[in-house]
Structure 1
Amino acid sequence: MADPARAKRLAKRISTVVASAIEYEIKDPPLAFVTVTDTKVTGDLHDATVYYTVRGQTLQDEPDYAAAAAALERAKGTLRSKVGSATGVRFTPTLAFVLDKIPETSAHMEELLARARAADEDLARVRQGAKHAGDADPYRVAGAADDETSDDGA
């Protein structure tokens, strides 16, 4: 097993090489919207998992995940060759591409937090004019009950 620090350095280097190759060297239109977010390398340095996100062409467009995945599969051999020549390790790691759902998950969490804030604001508006039900002091006062019993019993 390799040194974890070496695996981390190799993962960072692979991430840089793959991102650069996707941006500047590989001319596949679906890859124009792919961003490499993270890379993990196994302890034996034989397999690398590259995490990526896909953005839409405009802010309103939905990203084309299937086209991006297919383009990455087509470019996998070229990317692995570039990683091998750029890293100089004895065995070039195999590349696996995994769609990173963190941006979508964080957007969903932001939406849920916004709904919770709106519900809290509605509750605060309702509470403003509200008052407690019943008497101000609903509990029996100890001194008043003792005085009544002592008068009747004597």
Structure 2
Amino acid sequence: MLEGELSDPRIAPSYVTEVVLAPGGKSARIFVAVHGDAAEEDETLAGLMTARGYIRCQLRDRMGVRHVPELTFAIDRSEKMTGRMDELLGRMRKRDKKRADAVSGPTEIAPKL
């Protein structure tokens, strides 16, 4: 539904990363990753919260169940955090390599006999 069925212009390109169903199945928390900045994340979240009644009806019809849990949406920032952590770790490795090269100094190659 996120990929084209919802016509709300506030909903940026996004996808569901995880669904956590509460014990008893009365509520579900849906984590969504949004391609965009923080403003687009906020707008997408607002659009999804507005469309949650429609989404519940569609889920009920498609799944053929009588009861669909109450839906809440949350932004999943784990991919962005992972990317940032990878960037920081890469910087640390470069800095450590430069320090190790500076400490060891130039190495001389022994002539072959």
Alignment coverage as a number of residue pairs = 105
Equivalent positions of 1:72-87 (< 5 A) are 72-87=48-63
AA of the residue aligned to 2:21: V
AA of the residue aligned to 1:127: V
More helix by share: 1
Equivalent positions of 1:58-73 (< 5 A) are 62-63=37-38, 64-73=40-49
Is 1:33 the counterpart of 2:13? The answer is yes
How far, CA to CA, are the matches of 1:30 and 1:106 in structure 2? 26
Gaps of 5+ in 1: 1-20, 57-61, 131-154
Contact 1:41 1:48 in 2 (8 A): yes
How far, CA to CA, are the matches of 1:108 and 1:30 in structure 2? 26
Residue of structure 2 equivalent to 1:46: 26
Residue of structure 2 equivalent to 1:97: 73
AA of the residue aligned to 2:87: E
Deviations 1:126-152 (A, max 9, x none): 12228xxxxxxxxxxxxxxxxxxxxxx
Q: Secondary structure at the match of 1:30?
A: coil
How far, CA to CA, are the matches of 1:23 and 1:32 in structure 2? 9
Shift of 1:72: 0.6
What percent of counterpart residues are identical? 30
How far, CA to CA, are the matches of 1:30 and 1:121 in structure 2? 46
How far, CA to CA, are the matches of 2:43 and 2:23 in structure 1? 31
TM-score when scaled to structure 1? 0.62
Is 1:110 the counterpart of 2:86? The answer is yes
Name which one, 1 or 2, has greater alpha-carbon Rg: 1
Gaps of 5+ in 2: 107-113
